[in-house]
Amino acid sequence: MNKRLLFLINPNAGKGEIRAKALDVIDLFVREGYEVTVHTTQRRWEIPDLLRERAGGFDRIVCSGGDGTLNETINGLLACENRPPLGYIPAGTVNDFASSLGIPKTIPEAAAIAVDGAPYACDIGLFGGRAFSYIAAFGAFTDVSYQTPQQVKNWLGRAAYILEGIKRLPGIQPWPMRLVCDGRELAGEFLFGMITNSTSVGGFAVGERIGVSMNDGLLEVVLVRQLQSHAERQRVINALLEGELDPDFVTVTKARRVEVFSDQPRPWTLDGEFGGEVEHVVIEVLPSAIQVLTDPALAAEGGRASAGPDLIRAPKFSGKSTQGYHISAL
């Protein structure tokens, strides 16, 4: 009996490149011995419902889209008792999760990893009950990814986020926040904060600076305190653009559980999408929760772990083809 693969496609992600290459990808899956069922997303948050109902009937799940599509897929898999390995074909603008796990950004290469790769047991974050694959963040610039028009992101890529962020510099205000990280309290007025499990954030490599491992059972906490002058702002921004963290203004620590308190409901971003407004939230890690398919050599090494400080300052189709795959609205 053929192995069964569910291929989830967001045809509108990024520049829509997957629409032109989907049949080639499906053909690869079939040649590798899979009976493929294809589902193109029609609305937000349909993937979790679909996976809760159907994931148990498949040997492998592959999704293609941006970080938001991946977020939905992971949320769906976490609701399943038996979780098939997950292949990811990045098709968004920045694709931080793929960068962190060494998943190729070209569709043919990523598709090959999705069928021939080795499973990597990846930690997942939980934000008040909702999963995130690589980041939960508050404060300055955190809404840039979902407020920037898709057309602009397609034209400019990562530069679109930088330009949108620069426009907002004059209006940045800090928020009073208190975070309890595994019992240790960090309080102050912060311009930005993130709880992450990624070596790449917004397209910028941060793993070497904050010591990220995606399966160590820990989340990295990064806080940027209030800056008093334009010169201080520029200093921190320049450091971030160079992949550095200025210890005079930036605090980094690690934790399994982070409890966050703010003075009023504040907006959060989860994996580049709006995550709601909360005044109090518990963020914790789910160790080795998802098996993500990646390069066998990288998986054997334990992923892109890096040492770091413990603390520093389309239309619907239906029917069965003769080629071994289904195209279905499910």
Average pLDDT, the chain: 79
Lookup: tokens for 174: 């800090």
Is pTM, for the whole model, over 0.85?
A: no
81 CB contacts (<8 Å, ≥6 apart)?
56
Residue 98: pLDDT band (50, 70, 90) is confident
CA-wise closest residue to 224 among 205, 204, 254, 252: 252
**CA dihedral defined by 160, 165, 170, 176, rounded to 10 degrees?**
160
Domains of the chain: 3-123+288-303+314-327 (3.40.50.10330), 130-287 (2.60.200.40)
CA-wise closest residue to 92 among 41, 22, 150: 150
pLDDT tens across 265-282, in order?
999 989 888 899 999 999
The mean pLDDT of 182-208, rounded to a whole number, is: 75
Q: Locate all alpha helices (DSSP H) within the chain, ordered by sequence.
A: 17-31, 47-54, 67-78, 96-101, 107-116, 144-147, 150-156, 158-168, 207-210, 230-241, 296-301
- From 273, 277, 279, 301, active-site residue: 273
Tell me which residue has tokens 């995550």: 275
The question of whether 242 is a catalytic residue gets the answer: no
**What pLDDT sits at residue 134?**
86
